[in-house]
Structure 1
Amino acid sequence: MAVKAAGGVQSVERVFELLELVTDAGGEVTLSELAGSTDLPLPTIHRLLRTLVKLGYARQLPNRRYALGPRLIRLGDGATKQLGALVRPQLASLVQKLGETSNMAMLDGDMVVYIAQVPSAHSMRMFTEVGRRVHTHDSGVGKAILAQLSDDVVRGIVSRAGMPTPTDRSIGNVEDLLADLKRIRERGYSIDDNEQEIGVRCFAVAIPGAPTPTAVSVSGPVSRVDEGFADRAIPLLHAAARVIADDLEQASRAS
């Protein structure tokens, strides 16, 4: 193995570069597409992919495209559990101060997956469970995440995932979505106002500098989550997001 002067193991860095490129491409990619996205020689890409396929971290599809492999699921599950434990104190603090369910979610391919939650004590609350995958365009966490990305990346995500409209308040076309994302960037938070589920409102902010686009939210019935609630919730969400970002950075340094 060649070792970089900075101390990194070059072959390991190349492997993770390829895995991230496959992920960014929506989970499937050809050799030529990979070669066009990296400076690595084609024989090197092919050799590394063969190793990843053999180990189960990648797989080759019948159409000769490469996709992420099943062994990554175990690693992802373990990392998600650790991340959930890391952020739980901040989510619990939000619930204590606001009285509504708090969630954290991250971009997973072209969808959003909930990775941590502290539920409200109310009997009537949002029933989103950890592990649930939702579209980006009709969820508070999803739109907070999309607002961190370029318009071209957003177009790619929704073109692959689609834009279903579960309610009559859901955004159904990419131009309206991009306009909403512009407003989110300007004000610093997103709103899901009856877009994913009628009767539920959600406020969300992105985690600054997260290695994978991530957001934290509070949500509940529109009867309780109103304008006055927003005035209290938004500063607390931003404060929680900053603490979570610092915790993630410290955890990264410690590892």
Structure 2
Amino acid sequence: MEDLVHDADHEKKRNEPARVQVVERAFGLLDALAKKGGSATAAELKQQTGLAGPTVHRLLHTLMALGMVHQSLDKRYSLGANLVPLGEGATRQLGGLALPQMQSLVSELGESVNLAALESGMVVYIAQAPSPHSMRMFTEVGRRTYMHSTAVGKAMLATMEPAKAREIVTSAPMPSLTPKTITDPGTLLDQLPRIARQGHAIDDEEQELGVRCIAVPIPRGPARTALSVSGPTARMDILFVRHAVPLMIRTAVEISRRFSGGEN
């Protein structure tokens, strides 16, 4: 019996795709850097990954040569600029995965549904499922805008650690796009705990007059993302919001499962 089990295990391993250890270690190092907030010393990375010191240094120097890692004057390592286009490209691919769920939500609510992600302190729209109404909201995929004036931006900020949210809010411009736009960092930061508790954020004509938008965060996504429904204020009243939010939260969970490769 033991021989049969051993033979079965051997056959299983033989049929598994070959894994390249150095690639796994390099990505593990980048993942460790990200988990340390994007900056760490070689000693911290050694402790985080369990790799030997010489291995960590060899990997870091290779990643630095590729622009994937940067070393500062104080000998700390950080994620490099060449990772940015890779991350942005991967994030935008998520939009295609989410479209079936977004289109189902349009069928239920009748308004345009958007998916947005956080990129370099701004909101970027990565997918849209348009409303069937002739009078509808249209957002171009790839459009970048501010976090403070959008429901998706506020929904994403509310999922962050307070210090990280404060860093983004206080370092980004907050232009007044309409008379209703929040332009004071303190006012916006004060709203975030309530948004986190209720599970959704609202842009009430803060981005565009006559337009209301509701957003919920996508839980446990590979990137920080949020789902929104937008339409004319005349159609999106308080009753609509109460009806829409549970459906949006359900859809956000379905999208999260799709991102992770799970079944809906």
TM-score bracket, normalised by the shorter chain, equals 0.7 to 0.9
Offset at residue 196 of structure 1 (A): 1.2
Which of 166, 179, 182 is 2:190 aligned to? 179
Offset at residue 68 of structure 1 (A): 3.6
Which of 156, 159, 163 is 1:145 aligned to? 156
Which ranges in structure 2 are unaligned for 5 or more consecutive residues? 1-19, 48-52
1:9-49, Cα deviation, whole Å (9 max, x unpaired): 3333113333x379x56xxxxxxx53299444999877545
Alignment map for 1:109-124 (pairs within 5 Å): 109-124=120-135
The amino acid that maps onto 1:209 is: R
Q: CA RMSD in A?
A: 3.3
Change in CA separation of 1:16 and 1:137 when aligned onto 2, cut-off 3 Å: same
- Give the TM-score of the pair, scaled to structure 1: 0.78
- Give the TM-score of the pair, scaled to structure 2: 0.76
Which of 90, 93, 108 is 2:119 aligned to? 108
Instruction: Look up the match of 1:95.
Output: 106
Offset at residue 122 of structure 1 (A): 2.4
Instruction: Look up the match of 1:73.
Output: 85
Instruction: Look up the match of 2:30.
Output: 15
Change in CA separation of 1:140 and 1:56 when aligned onto 2, cut-off 3 Å: same
Instruction: Look up the match of 1:245.
Output: 256
Are 2:152 and 2:216, in contact at CA under 8 Å, matched by a contact in 1?
yes
Are 2:215 and 2:227, in contact at CA under 8 Å, matched by a contact in 1?
yes
Q: Percent identity?
A: 43
Instruction: Look up the match of 2:9.
Output: none
Partners of 1:48 and 1:147 in 2: CA distance:
36
Which shows bigger deviation, 66-75 or 115-124?
66-75
Which ranges in structure 1 are unaligned for 5 or more consecutive residues? 26-32
Partners of 1:194 and 1:37 in 2: CA distance:
50
Partners of 2:35 and 2:260 in 1: CA distance:
23
Alignment map for 1:220-239 (pairs within 5 Å): 220-239=231-250
The amino acid that maps onto 1:35 is: T
Are 1:21 and 1:34, in contact at CA under 8 Å, matched by a contact in 2?
no
Instruction: Look up the match of 1:28.
Output: none
1:121-168, Cα deviation, whole Å (9 max, x unpaired): 223222211111222221111111111112211110112222222122
Instruction: Look up the match of 2:41.
Output: 35
Instruction: Look up the match of 1:197.
Output: 208
Instruction: Look up the match of 2:3.
Output: none
1:136 aligned counterpart, secondary structure: coil
Query: Which of 1 and 2 has greater Rg?
Result: 2
Offset at residue 234 of structure 1 (A): 0.8
